[in-house]
Structure 1
Amino acid sequence: MSIAYWCILLTALLPYLWVFIAKRSGERYNNRNPRAWVAKQEGNYKVQRANAAHLNGFEAFPAFVAGVLMAQLAGVPADTVTQLAIGFVVARVLHGVFYLADKHTLRSLSWLVGMLCAAALMVLAAMRVA
């Protein structure tokens, strides 16, 4: 189960990679008012995409954590939890990469794969308890 826990940690930190890229890709980053700085980066699509990947990472995180913890508590086999957790992390990394590369179809597909992994963890947990 420890691999799934490491996946939670990686997924918690991943949004900060995307925001780091955003901050490095724009004109003089202003840490005093970061949201206003992002808003002023009109036309700098790398900043906007990296920031969007950052925000989306935080949006996807709770469902994944809930899925891993639910699956563990319900006694879903550790190998299954590990495989789904790794699948989620890979999907989320690809999601950010595709976001930066402006590959919208692949980005959406990787988002879907990640969310299906998180949902599968929850469904498997619910089936074990029922």
Structure 2
Amino acid sequence: MAAPPAWVMQAFAKLPGPAQQRAQALLVRVMKDQYLPALATVPAAWLLVYVPHFVKFGLMLRQRKSEYNNVTPRSEDPDAYGEAAGVIKRAIACHMNGFESFSAFVAAVVLCKIQKAKPMKVAALCFKYLLWRALFTAFYLAGGNRPTAALRSLSWF
């Protein structure tokens, strides 16, 4: 493994003492288990699954405030929300797609650890997954036209 670049060492030296100690402790943990960065992407991916849900929830609350049906929220009709209906429908679909993708992602991360795949390669792939998943989510939510929908599809390839 190569030494860190000089700019990294300079930035590290500028950190306050307690921050240096925390960073050093984290690096020691990563050196003991090199799959830690890849495993840390799992909770981040889980949070990404819920971004569209909270977008949908926020839009629904903003549109109808006290009329929002929190007793049986799945029975809410997105078409009753006027102009926001399209975004709400896309948010619901994106949320469901996130669940479908999440289980395969977690299985892949765990299998890479079990099979002792190259940890740095696994971590790089995990971070790429997070990046592309975030772009996919943004394009899905904004995808009210064909070009944006095409970007969404391209972000998944």
What's the TM-score once normalised by structure 2's chain length? 0.66
Write out aligned runs for 1:1-130 (5 A): 1-26=35-60, 27-28=63-64, 29-37=68-76, 40-42=77-79, 44-102=85-143, 103-112=148-157
What is the distance in 1 between the residues matched to 2:104 and 2:44? 15
Q: Deviations over 1:54-82 (max 9, x none)?
A: 11100100110111111111111111000
For 2:106, the aligned partner's letter is V
Q: Deviations over 1:23-61 (max 9, x none)?
A: 111233322112111xx1125111111111111100100
Query: How much has 1:99 moved relative to structure 2?
Result: 0.5
For 1:5, the aligned partner's letter is L
What is the distance in 2 between the residues matched to 1:88 and 1:14? 11
Name the Cα RMSD after superposition: 1.3
What is the distance in 1 between the residues matched to 2:52 and 2:37? 23
For 1:24, the aligned partner's letter is G
For 2:118, the aligned partner's letter is P
Percent identity, aligned pairs only, is 36
* 8 Å contact from structure 2 (residues 49, 102) kept in 1: no
Q: How many pairs does the alignment contain? A: 110
Moved over 4 A (4+): none
Structure 1: state its 5+ residue gaps.
113-130
- The structure whose RCO (Cα within 8 Å, separation 6+) is larger is 1
Q: Deviations over 1:9-30 (max 9, x none)?
A: 1111212221010011123332
Structure 2: state its 5+ residue gaps.
1-34
For 1:33, the aligned partner's letter is T
Which has the larger Rg? 2
